[in-house]
Structure 1
Amino acid sequence: MKIFRKFWQSETGSIPIEGVYASLLLLGWLAVAFQISDAFRTRLLASRAAEAVGDLISREDNAIGPTYVAGVKKVFDFITRVPNSNYTWMRVTLIICSASADTNSCDGTTKAFTLVNSYSTAESNGIHKHTQTTINLDADRIPVMAAGDSAVILETSMRYYPIFGIGDRAFRTGGSTAFTTMGLSEKLRFSNFVVTRPRGPRNVWDDTK
């Protein structure tokens, strides 16, 4: 106890050693700050890429199909600069608001949206194309549409690949629960749901395109 009391009361120290400790803390803080900043940058990039591709599809005058969707996915991958095409998936859905005598708009509740067609680039990975039932489950994400109106729904998802992998490392207190995780791991995905009206003629689906 005398040794600990003496150590506690001592005011001596070494500036180089304290400088090393401080520099390690500073470098760690800079790494975390840079990682978080990069995550926000990547999230913004994924959002802008989704909006750009959605606008590209809405301006298409010709029929679109699986080949076309695969092509615009390459555009999305190029904009987001993903290292591998498996990091992203895309789902394109065409819907219309069918005319009705009792209502002049579709909101997914009092009058459901009508599915024209849907296609997913990750069908084999469990990301299935929309059905008439599933598309109306997203009614709160789709603006109210006038009777006879149509829209293109573009869903994109991009896996985040952190530079330092800080989110995949954590300190544990002997149990299985980690208390220092940041959430910035490779399990994090940036997803977007973009609804766009056709800029010209209504988009048409063709399985051969």
Structure 2
Amino acid sequence: MDRIVFRRLRQALTRFAAREDGSVVAEGVIVLPLLIWAFIGLFVYWDAFREMNTVQKAGYTLSDVLSRQQTGVTNAYVVGMQDLFDYLVGDDSENSIRVTSVTRNGTNDKFEVHWSRTTNSERMPALTTTKLQDYIAQIPSMADNDYAVIVEVNVPYTPAFDVGLGDRVFTEFIVTRPRFLHCVPMDNVPCPVS
């Protein structure tokens, strides 16, 4: 009995697969909207990942430039970094950056802010030692009295089409050790003598 059922089912499927009649217009009307929806969805997700990748690369570029700084950083320098970031990202709508020099205090084993500057104090206020404690998990281990530069970037993103990926903000938190100096000085906050 089972053999007969399976044989008839196999014959029916074979006949169905061999048929070549049908309406191209009807099939096109059914499939075309699905193809368009899939194309738009792939475009939006591809664009979001492209933007996220660009933000990450631009943030690491700023961090690398700042870590190589051998003279005091000024507010104008930070504004110039914002201009460079906007150029690298290709959009300057509401991007913001915050650069902070931090140290690990050897006496109380606590991270402290040496100096902090931001280009948008409403979206990203300057970092304080108290607020820095919220980011401890993101800062790698450091030796006592060692310094690091933190570059944070925020870039709002709005997808071109609504396919389930809502508005979001791409953020990067990049910690880099100064390359040529013990610490990166700010114009009015010198580095302590080590």
Matched, 1:159 2:156: yes
Q: CA separation in 2, counterparts of 1:63 and 1:13? A: 75
Letter in 1 for 2:149: V
Question: Counterpart in 1 of 2:79?
Answer: 70
**In structure 2, the residue corresponding to 1:92 is in which secondary structure?**
strand
* Contact 1:66–1:207 (Cα < 8 Å) also in 2: no
Q: Give the aligned partner of residue 24 of structure 2.
A: 15
How far the C-alpha of 1:207 sits from its partner, in A, is 5.4
What's the % identity of the aligned pairs? 29
Q: How many residues align?
A: 168
Q: Which one-letter code corresponds to 1:42 in the other structure?
A: E
Map 1:18-167 → 2, pairs under 5 A: 18-82=27-91, 85-100=92-107, 111-123=109-121, 125-163=122-160, 165-167=161-163
Q: TM-score, normalised by structure 2?
A: 0.80
Unmatched tracts of structure 2, length 5 or more: 1-20, 190-194
Cα distance, 1:74 vs structure 2: 1.1
- Give the aligned CA root-mean-square deviation in angstroms: 2.0
TM-superposition CA deviations, 1:24-74 (whole Å, max 9, x none): 110111110111011111111111110111000000101112211110111
Partner of 1:204: 185
